[in-house]
Amino acid sequence: MNTQARPPVLANLGPLAQLRAGRLPERLLRLVTGLWLYGVAIALMIEGALGASPWDVFHLGVSRHLPVSFGTVMVLAAFGVLLAWIPLRQMPGLGTVANTLLLGPFADLNLALLATPDTLPLRCLYLIGGVATCAFATALYVGAQLGPGPRDGLMTGLARRTGWSIRRVRTAIEVSVLAVGVLLGGTVGVGTIVFALGVGPVTQFFLRYLVVRLDAPVGELSRDVR
């Protein structure tokens, strides 16, 4: 059978199996690059000041009540989300650890590097760039198949359990988190709506091209991304 004819799939492998599934240097590069780009996307959305992403509305809301940086709140929230993995039987991996520990610091660093633009057209470019970069970054590091980050593991775990598409699950999660963030005092704007409705479809589009095919039995590959 021609394996290249199969659609790309997201695997649900254990940590050791993820490391033994082939193409490890390439996948590690994809992982770190994806996490860095996600930090860029977060900074673009926040500095654009047209409304943060739903998760970041939540993080900003929590940061209003804790004397820690935005990135530290992200790390703390990631540990909390990992608890939801238990009933989903979602497998962690090196990517899970990297996302949990690095994404918050990457966000803080990019927030320090990017300035808030003065003009509305440039702020709109920040918004559009943030949504597109976030979707690409998500597909890049999730597609590396080293274990998704806490938030994306929730997305892929629910997709596997419910049979829903990545697009549908991602949108449902973003809208739910947004509601909690608003209650906590996070800032909402038109960018929040654009992100909540747009990032799911764009992420699924990029996943079609960025999921790495693994050297693993077909029976262990659990979810196609069409």
Residue 64 lies in a domain: yes
Q: What is the pTM of this model?
A: 0.83
Tokens, residue 52: 């943060």
pLDDT (mean) for 138-162: 84
For residue 192, CA distances in Å to 65, 98, 178, 186, 198 come to: 21, 26, 8, 11, 10
Least confident of 2-11, 52-61, 158-167: 2-11
Residue 202 confidence (pLDDT) above 80: yes
Confidence of residue 158 (pLDDT cuts 50, 70, 90): confident
- Please give the residue that has the higher pLDDT: either 112 or 157: 112
What pLDDT, on a 0 to 100 scale, did the predictor assign at position 123? 95
Question: Is pLDDT at 222 greater than 70 in this prediction?
Answer: no
Q: How many CB atoms lie within 10 A of CB 4?
A: 6
**Interhelix angle 150-162/166-183, nearest 10 degrees:** 130
Can you spell out the DSSP letters for 116-178? Answer: PPSSHHHHHHHHHHHHHHHHHHHHHHHHTTS---HHHHHHHHHHHHH---HHHHHHHHHHHHH
CB-based contact 90:82 (threshold 8 Å): no
Task: Please tell me which residue, 222 or 139, carries the higher pLDDT value.
Answer: 139
Residues of the domain holding 49: 23-212
For residue 32, pLDDT beyond 50: yes
Residue 223 in domain: no
Q: What is the mean pLDDT of the chain?
A: 85
In a domain, 225, yes or no: no
Report pLDDT for 19: 80
Q: Is 192 exposed, middle or buried (0-12, 13-18, 19+ CB in 10 A)?
A: buried
Domains of the chain: total: 1
| Residues pairing with 223 in the sheet | 10
Q: Is residue 217 part of a domain?
A: no
179 vs 226 pLDDT, higher one: 179
Q: Would residue 220 count as lying in a domain?
A: no
In a domain, 62, yes or no: yes
Length of the chain: 226
Region 18-32: what's the mean pLDDT? Answer: 88
Both structure tokens of 164: 């829903």
Residue 53 lies in a domain: yes
The most confident of 3-12, 69-78, 182-191, by mean pLDDT = 69-78
Where helices occur in the chain by DSSP H, the ranges are: 15-19, 24-48, 54-63, 70-82, 85-88, 94-113, 120-143, 150-162, 166-183, 190-210
Is 5 part of a structural domain of the chain? no
Q: State yes or no: pLDDT of 136 exceeds 90.
A: yes
Q: What percent of the chain has pLDDT over 70?
A: 91
